[in-house]
Amino acid sequence: MDRFVIKGGSALSGEVLIGGAKNASLPILAATVLAEGPSSIGNVPRLQDVGALCRILGQIGVSVSRDSVGRLTCEVIDEDCVTAPYDLVRRMRASICVLGPLLAKRGQARVSLPGGGVIGPRPIDLHLKGLRALGARIRIEHGYVVGEADRLRGARVYLGGPSGPTVLGTATVMMAATLAEGETVIEHAACEPEIENLAGFLAAMGASIEGAGTHRIRIRGVEKLRGARYEVMPDRIEAGTFLMAGAITGGDVFCRGARADRLDAVLDRLADANVNVTEEPGGLRVKSCGRPRRTDLTALPYPGFPTDLQAQMTALLSVAEGTSVLTERVFPDRFIHTAELGRMGARIAREGDSVSIQGVRRLEGAEVMASDLRASAALVIAALAAEGETVIRRIYHLDRGYERFEQKLRSLGADIRRESGRDVALPGLGTHARAA
């Protein structure tokens, strides 16, 4: 198991190119199941999760190849196999994205139930509710979602859940409705930019969709979809992560490809925290103007502050002047990173779905454990600003969602290296537990 060794204290500076969005790529790749003929998709990041979805597509008869310039070509070559097995699905929750397209295009599907995650319970009841409303017959059998349908029929579907709209649930129903008979209206749909990006791909394949990016999406079903050429949008979560890394180190970083209109809530909170981010041609620049200041925020569905930047913001506010209150409304238990930040000297107290963060002048290097994708990014950000060295174990979590993370940070002046699974001795701490 690889780990990162980071020596904190360097102010990051320079330019970083923001890659394609993981959370747009996954449903877009799943949507190729709907098409006749090849699709050519550009700006798909090289990530573990993308690899996992491509393996599932291969399993269900979609050939996937990447050309010399990195474009992915996806084409359905065999429609017999409709099973996405546990062994592949358990590695990545977003595998559920193939359920809607399989039902809509092939009239049957057998997809392993995705497990829960460390960020909290991850039910799929809204996905199933939406597909049933379109006429699919769905049952859970031996840990699998088993679905059958003659041609799906358009319907009005309300997709609001206990924490608001569901992103992948909206994607599932929107994809399925493209080949349904008649019109579907999704009420309380997710408005995330990744949903808009997916709708753009579906429209490029010949789908009729209105209102993507709003809480009401209208889809008129068509007879068939054909492969299309498309580009995945830049990753707003990766962009936010680098803006916060630049801020916490007192640096000056230009994020090429980052878009302000995709990060409004984030830029608003950063400004309130005395972090100066400006729009420049082709991207966003963060330029430190001194120590961050306390601010309060609530993680909410888009266009609110994204839950996928909550952990990174917690790291930033742990060195801010004053005490901040941060509330998590999308995944109320998504605070596993706070204990590890505590090991680095952060002062964070939890109260239900909120934490209060009493800023300290400086964090200290320590040995910490990554637990999930965004928590790991938060630990890297904290380590970049900490005194001394930090060792972050289990960084395989990061490889799921950040492409060439340490190379990009090193190009900005960070002192970071990846070590493969052997013990690392820290000055004065001696060797730690045997390598996992």
Containing 12, the helix (H) or strand (E) segment is: none
Q: Which amino acid, 321?
A: E
Note whether 166 binds ligand EPZ by CB under 6 A.
yes
Q: 212 - beta bridge partners?
A: 214
Residues in contact with ligand EPZ, shown as a per-residue x/- string from 365 to 404 under the rule CB under 6 A: --------xx--------------------------x---
- Closer to ligand EPZ by CB, 89 or 366: give it: 89
**Terminal Cα-to-Cα distance of the chain (whole angstroms):** 7
Helix (H, G, I), strand (E, B) or coil at 172: helix
Smaller CB separation from ligand EPZ, 37 or 143: 143
Closest Cα to residue 86, out of 127, 145, 35?
145
| Measured distance CA(327)–CA(314) in Å, rounded | 10
- When binding is defined by CB under 6 A, the residue of 168, 247, 317, 370 that contacts ligand EPZ is 168
Give the CA diameter of the chain.
69
Whose Cβ is closer to ligand EPZ: residue 162's or residue 430's?
Answer: 162
Residues near 258 by beta carbon (within 8 Å), at least 6 away in sequence: 18, 234, 236, 239, 242, 243, 283, 284
User: Which residues between 174 and 213 bind ligand EPZ (CB under 6 A)?
Assistant: 190
For ligand EPZ, the closer of residues 233 and 366 by Cβ is 233
* 140 contributes a contact to ligand EPZ by CB under 6 A: no
> What minimum distance in Å lies between the beta carbon of 28 and ligand EPZ?
11
C-alpha to C-alpha distance for 431 and 436, rounded to whole angstroms: 13
CB of 77 to ligand EPZ, least distance (A): 26
Q: Which of 9, 51, 58, 123 binds ligand EPZ (CB under 6 A)?
A: 123
Binding residues for ligand EPZ, total number by CB under 6 A: 26
Choices 19-27, 149-157, 250-258, 426-434; region in contact with ligand EPZ by CB under 6 A: 19-27
Residue 33 carries which DSSP code? G
Q: How far is the CB of 400 from ligand EPZ (least distance, A)?
A: 8
Q: Please, how many CA atoms are within 13 Å of residue 195, restricted to the half-sphere of its CB?
A: 28
CB of 361 to ligand EPZ, least distance (A): 30
Exposure string for 200-209, b = 16+ CB within 10 A, e = fewer: bbbbbbbbeb
Q: By CB under 6 A, what part of segment 78-117 binds ligand EPZ?
A: 94
Query: At 201, which helix (H) or strand (E)?
Result: helix 193-204
Give the single-character DSSP code of 434: P
Tell me if residue 122 falls in helix, strand or coil.
coil
CB of 15 to ligand EPZ, least distance (A): 24
Contacts of ligand EPZ in 283-342 (CB under 6 A) = 307-308, 330-331
Q: Least separation, in Å, of the C-beta of 374 and ligand EPZ?
A: 5
Residue ranges that bind ligand EPZ, judged by CB under 6 A: 22-23, 26, 94, 121-127, 161-163, 166-169, 190, 307-308, 330-331, 373-374, 401
